[in-house]
Amino acid sequence: MTEKRSTDTPFAPALDLDAVRTVRVGTALWALALIVLLPFNQQLADEGRTWWIWTCVAGVVLGLMGAVHTTRRRARRTDPQPKGHPKDQPKP
């Protein structure tokens, strides 16, 4: 006797699809790491590990750029027809 399996599974709620919160949390974590490492700047320089600080700086800068990008993208996706859209222009 064969067993019948149902392929109907309940839908899970959508996750953070626009990634705004994810990027902001990541940027905050890079900023926190930078703040924690700054008091040890001289010690890191003596050991040749100043790249740790620069990695945090890069993470913060790229995170800020990503936050601007994802916020603008979310606004575009929620706005049904943004101003200046080609459909708004009269046809000649």
Q: Residue 82's pLDDT band (boundaries 50, 70, 90)?
A: low
Task: Say yes or no to pLDDT of 3 above 80.
Answer: no
- What is the rounded average pLDDT of the residues 10-28? 85
Domain locations along the chain? 20-78
Separation of alpha carbons 56 and 51, rounded Å: 9
What pLDDT digit, counting tens, does each position of 41-78 carry? 999 999 999 999 999 999 999 999 999 999 999 898 88
Which pLDDT value is given to residue 13? 75
- Which letter does DSSP use for residue 71 in this model? H
Residue 67 contacts residue 27 (beta carbons within 8 Å): yes
Which pLDDT value is given to residue 62? 98
